[in-house]
Copies of this chain bind each other. A is one copy, B any other.
Amino acid sequence: MAIYDLSGKNKYYTLYTLLREDIMGGRYRAGEKLPAKRALAKELGVSVVTVQLAYEQLLAEGYAYSRERSGYYVDKVNVQPSPTRAVGERRTPENRAEEKYSVDFVRGAAPAKLFPFSVWAKLMREVLSDCGEHLLERVPIDGDWELRSEISAYLYRARGIDAPPERIVIGAGAEYLYGVIVQLLGREKLYALENPGYGKISAAYSLNGARFVPIDVLESGISAEQLAKSGAEVLQISPAHQFPTGVITPASTRSRIMEWAENGDRYIIEDDYDSEFRLSGKPIYSLHSLCPDRVVYMNTFSKSLAPSMRMGYMVLPSALKDRFDAMFSSAANVVPLFEQKTLAAMLRKGHFERHINRLKNYYRAVRSSVKSAFSNVGDCKIFDTGGGLHMLASFSRYPTDEAVKTAAAALNARVKCVGDYLIAPMKGWEGCVVLNYGGIDAESLDIFAKKLAEL
C-alpha cells in the first residue's frame, strides 16, 4: 500500500483523509480488508491509537465497517473515479492528470517560467515590510487607491486611455467583474454577446441571471445590423482582437455601434483581454477613448501575469461609477490588499512593462514558428490580424470542422475550431482551426512541425 506522509499535526485525521481518498478513488474496493492496525501503525511509524482513530472515523462515516475479531473492511460507497476524484489527485498540483498531446493549441496559459517570480517575491517581501499592519485594513470596494493610480498611469502610457483612478474598479478577475456589471446595469437588461465567443463570458452572464442575445461576428466584424435589431441594451465586445476569430472591429462598424450606444441609454463593455500582445502594427484605439460615457473598459492580469492572478479592473463611465459607489459603498473589495500593493509596486517600478516586453518577444518567436510550420502545408490559409495570442488556420482539403479535427487528431494535436465557440448556430467559420499559441512550448512545436512537413 501507499506510504502516507503523516508528518505534521493531526496524524489520525490526515491518515483518515488519505484512506478515505483512496477508498473514494477506488484504490480499495468494497469488501476489501483494510491493513491490520498494528501493521499499518508500524509501517507508518505512528501509534496504534492513531490508526484506530482514523479507522473509527471511517467507520462513523460509513466508509468502512468492522467485523468482530477480523478487522476493518471497505464499505460500498458511491465511488466516482472521475478525473477530479482520482486517488491522490488532489494532494499535490503536480499529480493532476492531464491528457498528453504532442501539441496543445487550446491551453492559453503562458509558461510559468516566463513570470518574473523572483521579482514578484521580492516585491511581496518589500510590501510586507513597508505596509506592515496597514495590510489588514479593509480595502474600499473599488480597490486600493495606489493600484488604481498605477493602472491609470499605465493605461495612459500603454493604451492612450485616459482613465482617472476615480473611475477604476479593481475586481477578482474578469468573470467576477461580469457579475458586478450585471448587478450594476441590471439583470433585466438584454445583453448582446459576440458569436462565436469565449464560453466563459456567456457562462458568466448566464450564471448571473442575465439574458443575452448572440450577434454574429464575421471577418468583416460584428454585425451592426443584427445588433440594431436585437433589442439589446448592452453590448459585450472585444474590438481590438476578438476571441476566437481574431477579428478587429473595423472603423465603420465602430462608428455604428458607438452611435447605437449613444442613441439610447445603452452601454458597451469593451473587453480588451489581450491587447498587451499586439505583436505587429500599431495599437488598436480603444472604444473607451472614443466614448468614455458609454463604454466600460475591462482588462485583467491573467493573460499578462499568471492565470492564478485573479485580478482585473474596469474603467467605468462617470455616471456608472457614481451608481457603483452608491450601490456598493458598504461592501469591501475581495482582492487582498497585499496582492494589490504588490501589483502596484510592479507597475510603478516598471517591472510589469518589462515583463510584457519579454513576453512579446517570446511570443513573436512562437508565432513565427507556428506560421512557418504551417507555411509548408500547401492548402493552408492563415488568418492573422497581428494581435493577441491566437490566429486561425483553414485547409481547403478539410472544409469542415470534423475533417480538420480528424486530421489534427491523427497528428495528436489538441485543437478547437471556431465552431466550438459558437453560442448560437451561424455560418462562415467552417473548418477554421483556432491556433492558440499562448501556452505552446517550442519543443513540442518543433516535433509537430516535422510531422506536418512529412505529410
**Chain A residues near B (Cβ < 8 Å):** 8-10, 13-14, 17, 20, 24, 60-61, 78, 84-85, 90-91, 93, 109, 112, 115, 117, 121, 124-125, 128, 132-140, 145, 149, 152-153, 156, 162, 164-166, 172-173, 175-176, 179, 183, 187, 199-200, 203, 207-209, 306-310, 318, 325, 327, 329-339, 348-350
Contact = CB atoms under 8 A, between A and B. Distances in A.
A128 B93 CA distance: 17
Contact of A164 (B17, B115, B162): B17
A174 to B, nearest CB: 11
B133 A117 contact: yes
The 3 closest A-B pairs by CB, nearest first: A172-B334, A136-B306, A209-B209
8 contacts: A13-B156, A14-B149, A24-B166, A91-B145, A109-B138, A135-B308, A136-B306, A310-B335
Contacts of A330: 199-200, 203
- Main SS of chain A's interface residues? helix
A273 B187 CA distance: 29
Count copies of this chain in the complex. Answer: 2
Given A17-B149, A200-B331, A325 B10 contact: no
A132 to B, nearest CB: 7
Most buried by B among A24, A117, A183, A310: A310
A139 to B, nearest CB: 6
Contacts of A306: 136
B308 A173 contact: no
A173 B310 contact: no
Nearest to A20: B164
Contacts of A60: 162
Given A9-B349, A13-B156, A179-B179, 11 more contacts: A13-B152, A17-B164, A84-B325, A90-B145, A93-B137, A109-B138, A117-B133, A135-B308, A173-B332, A310-B335, A336-B336
A199 to B, nearest CB: 8
A145 to B, nearest CB: 5
A406 B137 CA distance: 32
A359 to B, nearest CB: 14
B348 A8 contact: yes
A4 to B, nearest CB: 13
Contacts of A90: 140, 145
Nearest to A146: B91
Contacts of A152: 13, 17
A166 B84 CA distance: 10
Contact of A338 (B183, B332, B338): B338
Contacts of A140: 90
A334 B310 contact: yes
A1 B69 CA distance: 88
B172 A172 contact: yes
A202 to B, nearest CB: 12
Contacts of A162: 60-61
Nearest to A339: B336
A391 to B, nearest CB: 23
B13 A153 contact: yes
A20 to B, nearest CB: 7
A175 B25 CA distance: 33
Given A125-B128, A334-B334, A338-B338, A112 B93 contact: no
B183 A93 contact: no
Given A8-B348, A9-B349, A112 B133 contact: yes
Nearest to A93: B137
Contacts of A331: 175, 200
Contacts of A112: 133, 136-137
A351 to B, nearest CB: 12
Contact of A115 (B124, B128, B136, B334): B136
